[in-house]
Structure 1
Amino acid sequence: MTNNEHNDLVLESMHELRYFNQQLKNFSEQLSIELRSDKVDQNKTIDMKVQQADKVRNLATNIVNLSQLFTTRIDFIDVELNPNAIEQLPIQKVNIYGKFDKAKKMLHALSRKKKVKVNIKSEVKDGRIIEAYSIIDILPYLLLDNAVKYSPEQNDVDITFVYYNDCVKIEILSEGPFVGADEIKKLAGKHYRGRNALKVDDCTGRGLGLYFVGYIAELHDIDITYKSEKYSYEVNGVPYSTFSVALSVPLQ
């Protein structure tokens, strides 16, 4: 790896880790408010209603899950620096449905802010188990984060699971900036961002999300395709259409 490539990797990694850190900060601040941390050392008990208790549990779970994403992102940096490092990563039993469900919960604050509803439809909620490297955790998070981030307000993101003997098919449908036929194959390229996506978000993204998704998918023999329907409406002058992500995850 050249010095320029190394510097680019550092900048890219810092960008992603700052984003995760901001999410972690938001969850921690919400948890602090719910637990009334300003009352520490005042010998006062924590008294809360069931609904508030559930909110506290969810916030605590999201903090734990985000810390796992930090670890996953750092593992990914190791692999980028040294491809042979993948051999050192643990292989685990993974419930692929559970990974998407976890990502949905972690993105609850963003989806609520955007007024976007994330729906998961599956024939069997517990799903089936696959063997995967630990970095697979970041794949559903990046796909759903992308869908929610680019969706117009008050729209749905629908995730459908269909199980077969040898694989599970997953489809993610959302509304997003129209992607031309000449751009579809470029989406997984490092630093590539669609023309219309740049009109919606021209400063925060670095065109790395789908690159990481593609890398992890290839590592696990997951087939993934993207499709953007012909645009039929505009939002603030930007053409929008239904965007779909189709995954085929092999089952052992």
Structure 2
Amino acid sequence: MFEPFPFFLISDKNPKDGLFIKQPGFCIKHFKDKTERIFFDHIILVRGWHISPSGFSCYVDENKVIFGIRIIGRFDREKTKRKLQVTDFNPILTEDHFYSILNEFNIVSRLNEHVEFNNQTIHEIRKLNQTIKSNSEFAQEKITNREGIENIENHVKRIFSASSLITTRLNIVDLNQNPELLGEKSDIGIYNKFYKAARCLESHEKRVAINLHGESHKTINSYRHFEILPVVLLENAVKYSPPDQVITVIFSEQADELEISIESIGPFVLPEERELIFLKSIRGSHALKTNEKGSGIGLYFAKLICDQHSIIISAESNISRSFDYNNVKYAPFTLILRFVW
């Protein structure tokens, strides 16, 4: 990440130097002191300016905390004077100067983020395209040899799944580049979109089953990219699930409400992380310990789509039924969607 000031990501709380200002020696030495730790735990969800117990300015952004700097009117001059060493480069800045520097670095960071996102998407599309190619070749061979229709059907399912996921990837690219370009709305059947997403993902190599319980005839007047939502949520559940597990999607419909619960097994999510995992580039601390590659954008896009359609999304993780798998703590994980008409 291109950051000008000392910072840590809310997801890992691992302090790093900025490119313009590095961490003061006092902050490096005392970052994990009890008083400082309690302070940072308290402010991470309160965006804006704060003054740390040691007197330095702190700024909470969407997914990170900037600390160890001095902003006029936002720091304790006497406290910081006693804590800074001769070797510390820690100029006093105005708020305008701070925001100006931050914005310049954010432009570079966003450009880099887009490049990484597009590179990852291209890699995923190539992998899906290879799935289509290999299964097409297998199906053609079986047709030529007049083998059983059931064998051919499995390959056709994988081709359909990969093709649908490529479409989803391209729609996500559009949404990432133009989140405000919403287009026109139309009525979409909610259950049908989840059913289609489940069928697309059922042939995944992890052999994870996706079962739908209950039903719903509700429709939602939505933008075209709403159909990304079921795929992203179910794919996230499949991605982090151990092999041979079952993902259950439960539909509970009332007169003017619909609740959809997606129940799976995944890395345990700490209580303080259950809102943070919907922020961009944030993954839970236990998810980071898995071998699954990820950029922390799946649930971010899910939350973005939910907000655009007035859908409430939340997460639960049950520590009482946790267990260790490959040195990672796993537990039942539930994503809940609430629709109100």
> What TM-score results when the alignment is normalised by the length of structure 2?
0.63
CA distance in 1, matches of 2:207, 2:278: 27
CA distance in 2, matches of 1:70, 1:18: 11
Please tell me whether residue 183 in structure 1 is matched to residue 273 in structure 2: yes
Please tell me whether residue 93 in structure 1 is matched to residue 187 in structure 2: yes
Q: Which has the higher contact order (CA 8 A, sep 6+)?
A: 1
Quick one: which amino acid aligns to residue 312 of structure 2?
A: D
> Which string of whole-angstrom CA distances, capped at 9 and with x for unpartnered residues, describes residues 160-204 of structure 1?
0111222321001111111111211111011111111111136x2
Provide the residue aligned with 1:161 in structure 2.
251
CA distance in 1, matches of 2:282, 2:237: 16
Provide the residue aligned with 2:178 in structure 1.
79
Cα root mean square deviation, aligned: 2.3
> Which of the residues 236, 241, 244 maps onto 2:331?
241
Of Structure 1 and Structure 2, the greater helix share is in: 1
Does the Cα contact within 8 Å between 2:248 and 2:263 map onto a contact in 1? yes
Please tell me whether residue 123 in structure 1 is matched to residue 215 in structure 2: yes
Please tell me whether residue 34 in structure 1 is matched to residue 139 in structure 2: yes
Provide the residue aligned with 1:230 in structure 2.
319
Provide the residue aligned with 2:307 in structure 1.
218
Percentage identity across paired residues of the two chains = 27
Provide the residue aligned with 2:200 in structure 1.
106
Secondary structure at 2:269 match in 1: coil
Does the Cα contact within 8 Å between 1:31 and 1:59 map onto a contact in 2? no
Q: How does 1:15-30 map to 2 (within 5 A)?
A: 15-30=120-135
Provide the residue aligned with 2:242 in structure 1.
152
Quick one: which amino acid aligns to residue 223 of structure 1?
A: I
Provide the residue aligned with 1:196 in structure 2.
286
Provide the residue aligned with 1:5 in structure 2.
110
Quick one: which amino acid aligns to residue 30 of structure 1?
A: N
Does the Cα contact within 8 Å between 2:319 and 2:331 map onto a contact in 1? yes
> Which string of whole-angstrom CA distances, capped at 9 and with x for unpartnered residues, describes residues 49-97 of structure 1?
33235335434533542343144123213324xx2x22xx232321111
Secondary structure at 1:114 match in 2: coil
Greater gyration radius = 2
* Structure 1, gaps ≥5 residues long: 38-43
Provide the residue aligned with 1:205 in structure 2.
294
**Which stretch shows the higher mean deviation, 12-21 or 167-176?**
12-21
Provide the residue aligned with 2:233 in structure 1.
143
Does the Cα contact within 8 Å between 2:158 and 2:203 map onto a contact in 1? no
Query: How many residues matched?
Result: 235
Provide the residue aligned with 1:41 in structure 2.
none
Change (3 A) 1:64 1:148: closer
Secondary structure at 2:287 match in 1: helix
Please tell me whether residue 69 in structure 1 is matched to residue 168 in structure 2: yes
Offset of 1:119 from its aligned partner?
Answer: 0.7
CA distance in 2, matches of 1:63, 1:148: 15
Does the Cα contact within 8 Å between 1:72 and 1:134 map onto a contact in 2? no
> What TM-score results when the alignment is normalised by the length of structure 1?
0.83
CA distance in 1, matches of 2:328, 2:144: 52
Quick one: which amino acid aligns to residue 27 of structure 1?
A: I
Secondary structure at 2:150 match in 1: helix
> Which string of whole-angstrom CA distances, capped at 9 and with x for unpartnered residues, describes residues 192-246 of structure 1?
11111111136x2011111111111100111000011115321122211110000
CA distance in 2, matches of 1:223, 1:229: 20
Does the Cα contact within 8 Å between 2:131 and 2:158 map onto a contact in 1? no
Does the Cα contact within 8 Å between 1:119 and 1:156 map onto a contact in 2? yes
